[in-house]
Structure 1
Amino acid sequence: PKEPMRTAPSSQVYMVKVSYEQKPFRREVIRTYGAKITPSPSDTTEVGRKILAEFPGTGGSLGCAISEAVEAATKQEGYRYVLGSVLNQVLLHQTVIGLETMTAMDKYGIKPDVIIGCAGGGSNLGGLISPFMGRKLRGEADYQFIAVEPASCPSLTRGSYVYDFCDTGHVCPLAKMYTLGSEFMPSPNHAGGLRYHGMSSILSQLYDDKLMEARSVEQTSVFKAAQEFARVEGILPAPESSHAIKVAIDEALKCKETGEEKTILFGLTGTGYFDMYAYKAFNDGTMSDYIPTDDEIAKSLAKTPKI
């Protein structure tokens, strides 16, 4: 007789509240695989209650969810916390993206001139560019690298390069990075994976050394680029990936104007089939842009540790 089916042990997932609300089908996929999912910030943790008291009604951020997940993991027997972005070991795992891309480029004798990726915490972009950056640093080849971030959460283009907490609740260690301040609360845009106050320490160093550029783009222009891409390529891209698509189109149009020939490589890192509420808002004309003021950013940065 067959053995009874074994189900995977349940996991506790803290999902950024705005993503929990905007991406209900992504939420249901997580539940289908057996996880218990809680919108963050929540009243289930001490740090969550503290954040809610300070920022009532907030849609949360990746920094909030990290704080709650760490607290939950440290206070429950048998639980471990796994971070999926920002830290060096995550970028190391993600380099499989860049290594596979480089192998394909080399196989067909293609050398990219411009390499573009979306940037939130940095693992996605770091994974794509790291092998190519290695060649650049060793003097073996030269590339133009462009990090693309949301104008609503512009840590590279408008942040400061300082030591800061990796999470909103200040339970994680400090890291030197470009940051908007760990208590910065991004507007509820639809690119949930990019709504993080800081940037990977490795990418921050590369940007500070001027080995990489950064651009910020508004979400309505991002979805316009996503729509054009979908109609031409037949692939519906994720909002996060569409940031890279937007700047890839910009760079291609520049070449069209100047007559210069360039090979443009960008990272298409996810499909948008769980983001249909976002596409609906764009198609209905109800999507808007929000760009934080200098005062908002300065107020958040004023709370970074004095080191």
Structure 2
Amino acid sequence: MTELPTSWRSVLPHLTTPLPEDRSPDRAAGGGIGVNLPMELVRQSIQPREYWQIPDEVLDAYRKFRPTPLWRATGFEEAVGAKVPVYVKYEGGNISGSHKLNTALAQAYYYKRAGVAELVTGTGAGQWGTALAAACALFGLRCTVFMVGSSLARKPYRGVLMRMLGAEVLASPTGTTRVSRETEGQGNSLSLAIGEAVEYAAGKEGAAFCIGSGETYSILHQSVIGVEAIAQLAELEADVDAVVGCVGAGSNFGGIALPFHAEAAAGGTRPPRLVAAESSSTPKLTRGVYAYDQTDATGTGPLEAMYTIGSSYSIPDSHSAGLRYHGAAKLVSAMRHAGQVDAVAVDQVEALEAGRRFTVRETVLPAPESGHALAAAARLAADGAERGVLVCVSGHGYLDLAAYQQLLDGELSDQAPAEEALLAAVSGLPRVEGARV
């Protein structure tokens, strides 16, 4: 039986080139808003050290829900006409209903040690907000969550759960922060919710902003998923040549996929194909540009090198709320640029249909975000993979039944961005040196 890993595994020692350095923004509204990180998180983001010991307090919390299950999804294979085995790693069996708790617990631990009294964040579909609320409750911190308003209206029980855990939940845009008053046309934007959280935390004594997905340290914490999966596949004597995860900013995909790259690099072998499944409404990896862009709507933080469709782009509403972020993590983006990561775009009808088939044949209800990964895995298993496919189901869909109801009623539609809108949103962004235009 697979044991709980005692170390996170970093891919940084195995990159072909160092990550591009961040740049200062052209403007610093409100005097410039800084985000103060505990030094351990800074070290985890920049040091090329492969293994990082998981603190005992975090391990104790992990033991309540980890290791998470991995199984061969034979029913799903039959439903999608798979020609090779499909293995599923399931991360929905904790209070947040998703993989987000892996880094929330770690971050709450490090911020608590750094003397912070309150953590503030932005969330899309609510899994990250719920995870942080739970972690703050466990480590004795206050928690404030800015949740994308359209998602909170669609999933009010996410807000109820966060409040049960002691968090204050605010629908974004709130109209109470400068960034929400000045930013128009981004009412469904995770970038705006994050911007409000950044501004709020900067103005409150003892508070700190924290983020759950795009940062290199959060991807490191999520590596527990892939480390477990490598051991579980070995126990099954199973071999895969494709690893799939859905990608918003990148922590779920990075968590399942990047340990496989590190394992292959350390052993001098060829890694499996690492496939990031994104929403066709937010296609940064498949239709975006590799450029320096801001991570939130304040425009005051450092510009990061990322594949982006532009932080100013008004993302259309959809049920793939956790994927509706304009850019991909700088680590995932750098590996995409180096040809070490592949990407596919999936529309929400195909994603939810894959989720429906998975529910019927595997009796597990996946979140809409996870449906994108399942749809991509189904494509690969039917045509593309030669030995097997591993896919991460990053969360459950019990609070997303309204989306499935629309699927069953034939009421879903998709809004892929028009090419001219994407070009306009990225027109002023400085490209990363050597990036293809």
TM-score by length of 2: 0.65
Supply the AA of the counterpart residue of 1:299.
A
In structure 1, the residue matched to 2:47 is none
In structure 2, the residue matched to 1:122 is 250
CA distances 1:83-134 after superposition (whole Å, capped 9, x unpaired): 1010111111110111111111122222211101101100110011111011
In structure 1, the residue matched to 2:18 is none
Task: Establish whether residue 93 from structure 1 lines up as the match of residue 221 from structure 2.
Answer: yes
Supply the AA of the counterpart residue of 1:148.
A
CA distances 1:198-219 after superposition (whole Å, capped 9, x unpaired): 0011111111111121000110
Task: Establish whether residue 218 from structure 1 lines up as the match of residue 382 from structure 2.
Answer: no
In structure 2, the residue matched to 1:182 is 311
In structure 2, the residue matched to 1:14 is 146
Between the aligned partners of 2:375 and 2:431, the Cα distance in structure 1 is 37
In structure 1, the residue matched to 2:410 is 285
Q: Which moved more, 1:78-87 or 1:148-157?
A: 78-87
In structure 2, the residue matched to 1:267 is 392
In structure 2, the residue matched to 1:111 is 239
In structure 2, the residue matched to 1:45 is 177
Question: Unpaired runs of 5+ in structure 2?
Answer: 1-136, 433-437
Task: Establish whether residue 169 from structure 1 lines up as the match of residue 298 from structure 2.
Answer: yes
Q: Aligned in 2, Cα 1:305/1:43: closer, same or farther, shift over 3 Å?
A: farther
CA distances 1:35-94 after superposition (whole Å, capped 9, x unpaired): 11111122111111111xx32xx4322211111101111101121111101011111111
Q: Would the aligned equivalents of 2:290 and 2:431 in 1 still touch at CA under 8 Å?
A: no
Task: Establish whether residue 32 from structure 1 lines up as the match of residue 164 from structure 2.
Answer: yes
Report the alpha carbon displacement of residue 136 of structure 1 after superposing the two structures with TM: 3.3
CA distances 1:213-254 after superposition (whole Å, capped 9, x unpaired): 100011011111110110000001001111110011112222
Between the aligned partners of 1:107 and 1:199, the Cα distance in structure 2 is 33
CA distances 1:129-170 after superposition (whole Å, capped 9, x unpaired): 111011333432431111100000000000000111111221
In structure 1, the residue matched to 2:76 is none
Q: Would the aligned equivalents of 2:224 and 2:255 in 1 still touch at CA under 8 Å?
A: yes
Q: Would the aligned equivalents of 1:9 and 1:34 in 2 still touch at CA under 8 Å?
A: no
Supply the AA of the counterpart residue of 1:216.
A
In structure 2, the residue matched to 1:81 is 209
Q: Map 1:127-206 to 2 at 5 A.
A: 127-138=255-266, 139-206=268-335
Between the aligned partners of 2:255 and 2:315, the Cα distance in structure 1 is 24
Q: Which moved more, 1:240-249 or 1:16-25?
A: 16-25
Between the aligned partners of 2:356 and 2:165, the Cα distance in structure 1 is 31
Report the alpha carbon displacement of residue 270 of structure 1 after superposing the two structures with TM: 0.4
Q: Aligned in 2, Cα 1:95/1:306: closer, same or farther, shift over 3 Å?
A: closer
In structure 1, the residue matched to 2:365 is 236
Q: Would the aligned equivalents of 1:94 and 1:123 in 2 still touch at CA under 8 Å?
A: yes
TM-score by length of 1: 0.91
Between the aligned partners of 1:13 and 1:225, the Cα distance in structure 2 is 31
Q: Would the aligned equivalents of 2:245 and 2:276 in 1 still touch at CA under 8 Å?
A: yes
CA RMSD of aligned residues (A): 1.7
Query: What percent identity do the matched residue pairs reach?
Result: 37
Q: Would the aligned equivalents of 1:70 and 1:171 in 2 still touch at CA under 8 Å?
A: no
Task: Establish whether residue 302 from structure 1 lines up as the match of residue 427 from structure 2.
Answer: yes
Q: Aligned in 2, Cα 1:167/1:40: closer, same or farther, shift over 3 Å?
A: same
Secondary structure of 2:146's match? strand
CA distances 1:161-202 after superposition (whole Å, capped 9, x unpaired): 011111122132110010111112211111111000000111
Q: Would the aligned equivalents of 1:18 and 1:192 in 2 still touch at CA under 8 Å?
A: no
Q: Would the aligned equivalents of 1:22 and 1:278 in 2 still touch at CA under 8 Å?
A: no
Q: Which moved more, 1:295-304 or 1:187-196?
A: 295-304
Report the alpha carbon displacement of residue 305 of structure 1 after superposing the two structures with TM: 4.9
Task: Give the number of equivalent residue pairs.
Answer: 293
Secondary structure of 1:267's match? strand
Question: Unpaired runs of 5+ in structure 1?
Answer: 1-6
Secondary structure of 1:207's match? helix
Supply the AA of the counterpart residue of 2:156.
P
Between the aligned partners of 1:150 and 1:129, the Cα distance in structure 2 is 18
Q: Would the aligned equivalents of 1:42 and 1:48 in 2 still touch at CA under 8 Å?
A: yes
